[in-house]
């Protein structure tokens, strides 16, 4: 990490980095991985933040700063993301990411918590929730899915193609660089972009980004289709009053059509749409989102 990166983290992400070695499934076997996370604040209630692709726990920094005086705030970096270990090879499946998160929760001894989920954090987090529903207090859903879909943005679909996808995601870092331009209504500051780009500058650090894109289950023959189907079938385990939905409406990836899916599943859940926010909702509207989350979890 160079001096500019260190300064960026000191100003934008002023949290203590923690590491834990987790034993988890990977490619029908077992693996021990060094996982990075932050654990900030105190309070009787715990919030567990689950990020997506191509982000890391850095994405939640504004909200955690706002909420850490009221709650214990924990944010994990998925395997291959952020400051967690980055394997040089491997196939990362949804079920394996859920297994790692479940082991993480058990290792930290979290008996009761609420989930804040974004992007891939939705299926991973809801996958965890459906396996241990007795531990779940509240579920905060933001621009994500946890069910099947036959629609995908053409930009994302292009990145899933076997040859061009690997060139874009792995070699050119195109997926992450495009996210810096397309995910917000308010342009990201140069220092903020540095924070997102910092953990994935080398091609060898981008395997997880590529694997996330490959793992989008668009057909019944896909490797993770059964996993998303299982999660979808168990969403009824949770009451409407346990779920709050926050949505950036200017999202090219998780367009408002996905919000309608959530509304159909939890028709009586509180729902908040942000007309002037994109996919990175917590970049465009961090203060408003923090207030909504605080009030919802307290209630």
Whole-angstrom distance, CA of residue 273 vs CA of residue 283: 15
Whole-angstrom distance, CA of residue 243 vs CA of residue 91: 32
Side-chain-side CA neighbours of 131 within 13 Å: the count stands at 18
Whole-angstrom distance, CA of residue 207 vs CA of residue 195: 18
What's the longest Cα–Cα distance across the chain?
49
Whole-angstrom distance, CA of residue 38 vs CA of residue 141: 20
For residue 152, report the phi and psi dihedrals to the nearest 5 degrees: -145, 140
Residue 215 carries which DSSP code?
A: T
Residue 151 carries which DSSP code?
A: -
- Mean model confidence pLDDT for the chain: 96
Q: Cβ contacts of residue 34 below 8 Å, gap of 6+?
A: 19, 20, 21, 84, 85
Give residue limits of the domains in the chain: 3-298
What pLDDT score does 10 carry?
86
Whole-angstrom distance, CA of residue 237 vs CA of residue 130: 7
Contact 124, 98 (CB under 8 A): yes
What pLDDT score does 2 carry?
79
Rg of the chain in Å (alpha carbons) = 18
CATH architecture of 3-298: 3-Layer(aba) Sandwich (3.40)
Is the pLDDT confidence value at 3 over 80? no
- Assign 46 to helix, strand or coil: strand
pLDDT tens digits along 253-294: 999 999 999 999 999 999 999 999 999 999 999 999 999 999
pTM: 0.97
Structure tokens at 182: 């397309």
pLDDT tens digits along 38-87: 999 999 999 999 999 999 999 999 999 999 999 999 999 999 999 999 99
Whether the upstream peptide bond of residue 54 has omega within 30° of 0, thus cis, is: yes
pLDDT tens digits along 148-174: 999 999 999 999 998 999 999 999 999
The position carrying tokens 């385990």 is 237
What H or E segment, with its residue span, contains residue 87?
none
Whole-angstrom distance, CA of residue 70 vs CA of residue 54: 28
């Amino acid at each position: 990490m160079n001096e500019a990166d260190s300064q960026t983290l000191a100003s934008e992400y002023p949290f203590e980095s923690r590491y834990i070695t987790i034993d988890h499934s990977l490619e029908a076997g077992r693996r021990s991985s060094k996982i990075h996370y932050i654990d900030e604040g105190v309070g009787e209630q715990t919030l567990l933040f689950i990020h997506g692709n191509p982000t890391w726990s850095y994405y939640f920094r504004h909200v955690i700063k706002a909420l850490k005086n009221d709650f214990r705030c924990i944010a994990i970096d998925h395997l291959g993301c952020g400051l967690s270990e980055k394997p040089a090879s491997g196939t990362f499946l949804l079920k394996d990411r859920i297994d790692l998160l479940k082991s993480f929760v058990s290792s930290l001894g979290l008996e009761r918590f609420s989930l804040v989920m974004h992007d891939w954090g939705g299926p991973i987090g809801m996958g965890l929730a459906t396996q241990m529903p007795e531990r779940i207090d509240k579920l905060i859903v933001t621009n994500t899915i946890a069910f099947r879909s036959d629609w995908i943005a053409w930009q994302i679909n292009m990145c899933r193609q076997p040859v061009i996808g690997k060139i874009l995601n792995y070699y050119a870092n195109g997926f992450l660089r495009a996210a810096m331009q397309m995910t917000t209504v308010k342009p990201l500051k140069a220092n903020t972009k540095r924070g997102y780009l910092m953990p994935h500058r080398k091609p060898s650090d981008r395997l997880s980004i590529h694997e996330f894109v490959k793992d989008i289950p668009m057909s019944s023959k896909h490797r993770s289709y059964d996993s998303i189907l299982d999660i979808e079938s168990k969403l009824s385990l949770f009451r409407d009053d346990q779920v709050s939905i926050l949505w950036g409406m200017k999202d090219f990836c998780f367009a408002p059509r996905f919000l309608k899916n959530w509304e159909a599943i939890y028709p009586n859940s509180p729902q908040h749409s942000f007309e002037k926010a994109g996919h990175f909702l917590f970049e465009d509207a961090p203060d408003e989102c923090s207030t909504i989350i605080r009030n919802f979890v307290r209630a």
